[in-house]
């Protein structure tokens, strides 16, 4: 009877491990090292956020909204395995906004207590690839990085980095969620300023330009007559 009970416990523990996933913390305040995010569209590098009462977000003037943390979003992407290409990473399900002067006051940082699962991982100690994506959310209207790209608003990403996940263990209590690998994520163009925001510009195709010129010429000829 005792052996049967022990076997059942082992089977249940195995089933738990199979269904569990490795975890990483989305917090930016977990250690003495923070990751700062700046807005560098126009050559300057102001840090995102710092106030809830910044200028009203408008699509016409992004720079005026840099001081309003609620106008900017950040999300963690990830996937199981080391050195995965960015195209293989997917959103991990938690979006935060930047410092807003109420819950936090350090511009350029975000505040989140979310613990996120990494799909494809099952045990503490496994390796995953993570990357941060941030974008202008237009007062909460733009809800994803993909939508930001479609709408042509400022959006950027950090470097990708490997992280050793926390989570369950085959034996023992497991380990807490891992902290983000701050220094590796920030190993981009500038230390601790890893995001380069860009705005997609629409350039008319040559055929469109040609048709426009032909129409203008016809209009001018008509006026002369």
- pLDDT (tens digit per residue) in 84-137: 999 999 999 999 999 988 877 788 888 888 999 999 999 999 999 999 999 999
E strand or H helix at 155, and its extent? strand 155-157
Q: What is the pTM of this model?
A: 0.77
pLDDT at 101: 84
Whether 29 is in a domain gets the answer: yes
How many domains does one find in the chain?
Answer: 1
- Say how many C-beta atoms besides its own lie within 10 A of residue 198's C-beta: 14
CA angle 142–114–88, rounded 5-degree value: 65
| Residue 4 dihedral angles phi and psi, to the nearest 5° | -60, -45
pLDDT at 106: 84
Whether 209 is in a domain gets the answer: no
Whether 184 is in a domain gets the answer: yes
pLDDT digits (tens, 9 = 90+) for 4-56: 434 433 333 343 444 479 999 998 876 666 788 888 765 667 888 888 888 88
CA-CA-CA-CA dihedral for 46, 140, 91, 185, to nearest 10? 10
pLDDT at 95: 97
- Say how many C-beta atoms besides its own lie within 10 A of residue 76's C-beta: 25
Whether 6 is in a domain gets the answer: no
In the chain, the largest separation of any two C-alpha atoms, in whole Å, equals: 107
Whether 72 is in a domain gets the answer: yes
Structural domain including 84 reads: 21-202
Whether 46 is in a domain gets the answer: yes
Whether 208 is in a domain gets the answer: no
Query: Residue 169 contacts by C-beta under 8 Å, 6 or more apart in sequence?
Result: 123, 124, 125, 175
Whether 215 is in a domain gets the answer: no
Phi-psi region of 205 (alpha: psi -120 to 50; beta: other; left: phi over 0): beta
């Amino acid at each position: 009877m005792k052996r049967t009970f022990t076997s059942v416990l082992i089977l249940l523990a195995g089933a738990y491990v199979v269904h569990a996933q490795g975890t990483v913390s989305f917090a930016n305040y977990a250690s003495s090292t923070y990751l700062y995010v700046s807005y560098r569209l126009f050559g300057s590098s102001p840090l995102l956020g710092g106030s809830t009462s910044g200028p009203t977000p408008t699509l016409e003037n992004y720079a005026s909204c840099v001081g309003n943390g609620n106008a900017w979003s950040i999300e963690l992407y990830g996937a199981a395995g080391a050195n995965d290409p960015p195209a293989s990473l997917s959103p991990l399900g938690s979006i935060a906004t930047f410092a807003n002067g109420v819950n936090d006051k350090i511009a350029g940082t975000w505040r989140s207590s979310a613990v996120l699962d990494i799909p494809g991982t099952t045990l503490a100690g496994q390796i995953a690839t993570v990357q941060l994506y941030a974008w202008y959310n237009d007062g909460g209207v733009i809800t994803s990085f993909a939508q930001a790209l479609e709408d042509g608003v400022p959006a950027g990403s950090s470097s990708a980095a490997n992280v050793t996940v926390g989570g369950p263990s085959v034996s023992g209590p497991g380990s807490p969620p891992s902290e983000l690998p701050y220094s590796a994520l920030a190993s981009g163009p500038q230390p601790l300023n890893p995001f380069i925001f860009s705005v997609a510009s629409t350039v008319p195709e040559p055929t469109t330009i040609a048709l426009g010129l032909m129409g203008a010429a016809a209009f001018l000829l008509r006026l002369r007559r």
